[in-house]
Amino acid sequence: MELARALVLMGCAIGAGLALIAGIGPGIGEGYAVGKACEAIGRQPECKGSVTSTMLLGCAIAETTGIYGFVTGLLLIFVAPGLFLGQL
């Protein structure tokens, strides 16, 4: 019984760590998008409004991936062990 409990907690901890790695991708992607938006505004300053709004929309959509990973990690840390251990 104690070995099963340890395995459940270990699996949840490893899964939560892997899920939180999902925050790296949106950070890199958003930084790249903002850099390209700054380049575009530097080339054509009159398009600043449309470039900025498109960039913000894209960054908001990209950020959902990081939020999903974060929520998954929180669920694996706080909710899943209780569910799995309740079945043992």
Q: What is the pLDDT of residues 37-54, one digit of tens each?
A: 999 999 999 999 999 999
| Alpha-helix runs per DSSP H in 1-88 | 2-20, 24-43, 48-78, 80-87
**Cα separation, 22 vs 14, whole angstroms:** 13
> Which pLDDT score is estimated for 88?
61
> Which pLDDT score is estimated for 87?
72
Global pTM reads 0.77
